[in-house]
Structures are given as C-alpha cells and as structure tokens.
Amino acid sequence: MAAKRKGSGDKYLDCLVEHLEKAVGMGKTRIGEAKDEYTRQVEANLEQGMALNDARTKAMAFIHDALDQTKLAKQAYDIIPNIPKLAGDGMYSVGLITDAGVAAENWYCTIAAPDTVDAAEAQEWVGRYKSKYGPSPTNYALTAYDGVLVIADVVTRLVNDGMEINRSNIRDYTQTTNLATLQGVINFDDNGDLKDKVVSIFQVQDGQFKYVGAGPQT
C-alpha cells in the first residue's frame, strides 16, 4: 500500500481526497494505491497498514483495480476498520455490498455522473428496466442508456442531412451533440469531454449506496 499526501500531481486523486476531507471534516488524508501486488502481499500490507493506523491518519482514499474491490474492502476492514475510506467508481458496484458484507459498510465512493435513478422523472424508465432485467438499475446503467441515445441521435442527424456514416462524420456530429436526457443535457467541450462534469458521492449505509452529494466541477 503506497501512501501519499494530497498534492500528488494526479488531479483525480486530489479530487477524491478533497471530497473525503469535506465529507469527514478532517485533513491529512492518505491515498493508498491498491494493485494486484497489494492483494497478494498480505503480510507486508498488514505491517504497513498497522503503521498507518495511528492518530495521524484520519481518513484514506484508494485508487485500485475494480476487480479488487472485495479484497480491498475486506483487507482494509481488517487493518483500519474505523478510519473513513473512499475510492472511485471501481467501488460503486452491487458486488461490493454482496461480496464484502460488513466490510463494505461506510465506504465512500464516487461516480462520474449525476444521481438520477431515484429522481421522480426517472421512475418510468426505472420501472421499464426492472421489468426487463429484474434488479434495480444503478446510475451507470442510465449513463450507458444515455450513451446509446447519443449514438442514435448522431446517426439520425447524419441520415437526415444525407451524410455518409463514417468515422469522421460520426466524430464531427458527436461533437455537436446537444441532447436532453434524464441525466441532463449532453454536450461536449473542445476536448470531447462532457461539459457537465458531475461527480456524485455515495456512502454504503446498511447495505445500500446512499447519496451524499455532488463534488465541485472545478
């Protein structure tokens, strides 16, 4: 487990740290980098984790492989059970709750999308999703659906304009997207990134992802 302070040069990590510090009202968050090597070297991790489990360490933020979420949650629970912990969208998974059990409790995680599936305007869509697939959708299920809407919108506009459907035209027409969806209006900046850069924060409470709030977009 590699620990480093805020100001690492990685804007994503620094953003996670900022959110966690605000959520728990503390400073000096440490960032632990979890990789396959991390999960295989249990004894070394325990030794270093115990060293980090002192009064100076008030919270920890992790960046990790999504496939390691259960291992990470269980190991962190064994090492630092009482320290608030946060990770990115690799932790935002029903599998975390079902597989990690009590070790998943109180974890903070983020997603790069608004929290929409609980909104009143999304319930008709949520109902159709559940009738077809069974489980309730996550926000990323709706994000994937919106991605297909963008593709359909692009192809429709190309056909209506009599344009050839090729890589170049699809890219250019995608750039000019201005599409209203349940998650808001989708459009892109000059870099091809979403103009509306929402990061939503959740915490696992009683076996459910509970929405905490949205992080700043700057």
Q: What is the pLDDT of residues 123-177, one digit of tens each?
A: 999 999 999 999 889 899 999 999 999 999 999 999 999 999 999 999 999 999 9
Q: Where are the domains of the chain?
A: 2-111+199-214, 120-186
For range 35-39, the mean pLDDT? 43
User: Residue 159 has what pLDDT?
Assistant: 97
Higher pLDDT residue, 36 or 74? 74
For range 48-56, the mean pLDDT? 51
Q: Please provide the CATH number assigned to the domain covering 2-111+199-214.
A: 3.40.50.2300
For the entire predicted model, the pTM comes to: 0.69
- The H helix count followed by the E strand count for the chain is 8, 9
- Sign of the four-CA dihedral 98, 63, 20, 145: negative
User: Residue 45 has what pLDDT?
Assistant: 47
Q: In whole angstroms, how large is the CA radius of gyration of the chain?
A: 20
Q: Virtual CA dihedral for 106, 112, 114, 118, nearest 10 degrees?
A: -50
